[in-house]
């Protein structure tokens, strides 16, 4: 019976109103007015989660925009102003009316930006079976960003040993993994990032063959020609716009471009024009947009590959974790100015 269920305060991060351009901290409200029962209602077959870590991801910016403002984003379900925003997180099951999960289970998947979340849609909620690695990794290396890197690099790009790989936003949640996968595959990999500190990480921590700060390059085409005198086989696209245009000029024949994100474009009313698409024709390039959800069936295979790499220290991961739900808006907003170094997440509660 739900009558005797404990009811607790439930702090939340609400979206104040639809956002134009990139979000600001003032676009969010920290609300302490909500309460929640720690039992799943009888009308639900879901789970009640205590959120431990929340993930800050660039796509979330798109969900803050008015869905009527851009027909291209039609497939994305925008946030509701006045309600808590949602995203990926790591959580502990407090109560379950679903046979797949039981009290005490650790899980990762879609959840709310609040202390406790009632989750009805469990299709992409994964049980965490391996806890000898940091739990926060399930917001990054072992969660959605890791699967994004894996499916985009291996499944979309079909890399071969010796190929030349370029990764933009390379120090980010996905990019740092792509670079390490590329090295483990025997590729030559160069990354771009937006600060000297990040470039240093790429070269000295993640083992990229080379890296550059795109903010210091007046001519991206020249920068790419310097790093790839014979051209690029694989481009892992996280940013779009001018970078994509310069990359197209430097792709090799039969090159592959996995379109994972276009963060430079997310705040623009009219996206930049890309002028060098004739490269796609003349160089017989395959450019493919993908979404991680289409590859979730490979998650176990992914774990079988990546967990040993972590344990053997063949893959490393840099996180930027802030403390407390109140720090969420600043952490999320910081993504769009590149303030974070490594995977940005928020620790909401201790296990």
Binding site for a second copy (CB under 8 A): 71-76, 240, 244, 248-249, 253, 259-262, 265, 270-291, 294
Q: Which is nearer to a second copy, 16 or 225 (CB)?
A: 225
The DSSP secondary structure of 285-310, one letter per residue, reads: -EEEE--GGGGGGGHHHHHHHHHHHH
Measured between alpha carbons, how far is 56 from 36 in angstroms, rounded to an integer? 24
Pairwise CA distance, residues 196 & 6, whole Å: 50
Cβ at position 134, least distance to a second copy in Å? 30
Nearest approach, Cβ of 244 to a second copy (angstroms)? Answer: 7
3-state secondary structure of 144: helix
Tell me how far apart the alpha carbons of residues 86 and 46 are, in angstroms, rounded to a whole number: 16
Nearer to a second copy, 43 or 282 (CB): 282
Tell the smallest beta-carbon distance from residue 283 to a second copy (Å): 7
Considering the complex, what minimum distance in angstroms separates the CB of residue 258 from a second copy?
A: 10
Nearest to 295 by CA among 145, 185, 179: 145
Contact between 91 and 117 (Cβ < 8 Å): yes
Give 249 or 349: the residue with its C-beta nearer to a second copy: 249
Smallest separation (angstroms) from a second copy to the CB of 120: 24
From the CB of 325, what's the least distance to a second copy, in Å? 29
Minimum CB distance to a second copy smaller for 48 or for 248: 248
Nearer CB in complex with a second copy: 193/257? 257
Reported as type and span, the H/E element at residue 50 is: strand 47-55
Residue 62 CB: number of other CB atoms within 10 A? 18
Q: Based on CB atoms, which residue is closest to a second copy, 92 or 164?
A: 164
Q: What is the spatial distance between Cα 170 and Cα 177, in angstroms, rounded to a whole number?
A: 8
């Amino acid at each position: 019976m739900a009558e005797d269920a404990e009811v607790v305060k439930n702090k939340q991060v609400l979206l104040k109103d639809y956002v134009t351009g990139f979000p600001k901290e003032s676009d969010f409200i920290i609300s302490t007015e909500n309460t929640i029962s720690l039992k799943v209602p009888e009308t639900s077959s879901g789970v009640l989660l205590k959120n431990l870590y929340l993930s800050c991801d660039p796509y979330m910016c798109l969900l803050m925009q008015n869905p009527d403002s851009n027909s291209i984003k039609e497939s994305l379900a925008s946030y509701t102003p006045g309600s808590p925003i949602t995203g990926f997180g790591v959580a502990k099951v407090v109560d379950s009316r679903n046979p797949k999960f039981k009290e005490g289970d650790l899980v990762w998947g879609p959840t709310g930006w609040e202390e406790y979340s009632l989750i009805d849609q469990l299709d992409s909620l994964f049980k965490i079976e391996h806890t000898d690695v940091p739990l926060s990794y399930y917001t990054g290396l072992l969660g959605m960003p890791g699967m994004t890197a894996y499916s985009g690099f291996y499944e979309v790009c079909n890399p071969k040993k010796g190929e030349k790989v370029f990764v933009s936003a390379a120090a980010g949640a996905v990019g740092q993994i792509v670079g390490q996968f590329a090295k483990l595959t025997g590729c030559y990999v160069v990354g771009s990032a937006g600060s000297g500190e990040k470039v240093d990480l790429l070269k000295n921590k993640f083992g990229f063959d080379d890296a550059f700060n795109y903010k210091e390059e007046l001519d991206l085409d020249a920068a790419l020609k310097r790093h790839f005198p014979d051209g690029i086989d694989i481009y892992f696209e996280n940013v779009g716009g001018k970078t994509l245009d310069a990359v197209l000029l430097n792709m090799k024949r039969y090159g592959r471009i996995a379109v994972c994100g276009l963060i430079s474009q997310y705040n623009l009313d009219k996206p930049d024009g890309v002028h060098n698409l004739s490269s796609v024709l003349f160089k017989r390039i395959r450019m493919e947009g993908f979404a991680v959800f289409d590859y979730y069936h490979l998650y176990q295979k992914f774990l079988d590959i990546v967990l040993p790499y972590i344990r053997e220290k063949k893959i490393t991961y840099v996180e930027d974790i802030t403390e407390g739900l109140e720090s969420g808006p600043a952490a999320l907003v910081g993504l769009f100015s590149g303030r974070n170094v490594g995977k940005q997440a928020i620790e909401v509660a201790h296990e």
